[in-house]
Amino acid sequence: MKKIISLVMMVLLTVTGCSHVGNYLDVAKDKGISKAYVDALNQWTRRETVYSQFETKVQISATYKNDVFNQAYNAEYARIYYLTDAEKKIREDMQAGFTRDFREIFIYAAMPNNDANDFDRANSGWTIFLSDAGGNQIKPLDVRRVEKVTPLMEEFYPYVNKHYGHCYILKFPPVGVEGKTGADVIKPMKIVFTSVLGKAELSWP
């Protein structure tokens, strides 16, 4: 009888132990952003650091939110939040309409002098423009600071650190490769930030 009880206890301990191991393995799995999204983010994100006499003046990261990137973003958002097909369709339709009207670039800027981090002000110390393949300078239609950086934004744009910099949404007209208004993606293109602190240029592709 004692042997039977001991055997049962060993089985229970073994099963319980396996359960704990399974839980630990589950905890170790990455539950965050998928590799597919990270690859798309890296493909369409550019970074530039401006130095002066070995001192960092400004660090800028910019993600060009074109159709390819937006598709990856929407797919990742749908995966995380288990969107229905109808909900996916609504997001995709809204995004398609938006990209026909604008070229949008998500910006994160950090600089030691926080007062100079003023891209959105009317009297900003920075001049910002796109330069297309024809050398045309295209000014933004809108520069808007993101007032509240959410956990979602920090996960989808991991280069963002709300304690050191600011995020901006820049909207440009849908200028084509020859500098004419149209639905064509600007390719190649370059965004330029220039001020007394220095100049940063980020190019796509």
Q: What is the 3-state secondary structure (H, E, C) of the chain?
A: CHHHHHHHHHHHHHHHHHHHHHHHHHHHCCCCCCHHHHHHHHHHEEEEEEEECCEEEEEEEEEECCHHHHHHHHHHHHHHHCCCHHHHHHHHHHHHHHHHHCEEEEEEEECCCHHHCCCCCCCCCCEEEEECCCCCEECCCEEEECCCCCHHHHHHCCCCCCCCEEEEEEEECCECCCCCECCCCCCCEEEEEEECCEEEEEEEC
Question: What is the tens place of the pLDDT at every residue in 49-72?
Answer: 999 888 999 999 999 999 899 999
pLDDT tens column, 68-83:
999 999 999 999 999 9
| Average of per-residue pLDDT across 124-152 | 93
Tracing tokens 């993600």 back to the chain, one arrives at 63
pLDDT confidence band for 14 (50 / 70 / 90): low
- C-alpha to C-alpha distance for 121 and 65, rounded to whole angstroms: 23
pTM: 0.80
Q: Is there a contact between 165 and 149 (Cβ–Cβ < 8 Å)?
A: no
Predicted pLDDT at 163: 94
**Given this model, what pLDDT does residue 195 score?**
96
pLDDT at 26 over 70: no
Q: Rounded mean pLDDT of the chain? A: 83
Query: Has residue 147 got a pLDDT over 80?
Result: yes
- Please give the CATH topology (third level) of the domain spanning 48-65+102-204: Immunoglobulin-like (2.60.40)
CA distance 128 to 137: 9
Q: CA 182 from chain center: how many Å? A: 25
At residue 126, φ and ψ (nearest 5 deg) are -110, 140
Domains in the chain: boundaries: 48-65+102-204
**Residue 153, pLDDT above cutoff 60:** yes
**Contact (CB, 8 A) for 172 and 185:** no
- What pLDDT is stored for residue 135 in this prediction? 84
pLDDT in tens, 85-128: 999 998 888 877 667 788 999 999 999 999 999 999 999 999 99
Q: Token pair for residue 36?
A: 């597919």
Q: How far apart are CA 138 and CA 48, in angstroms?
A: 20
64 forms beta bridges with: 105
State pLDDT tens for residues 164-204: 999 999 999 986 544 444 444 446 889 999 999 999 999 99
Q: Output the six-digit token pair for 142.
A: 């809108």
Structure confidence at residue 202 (pLDDT): 97
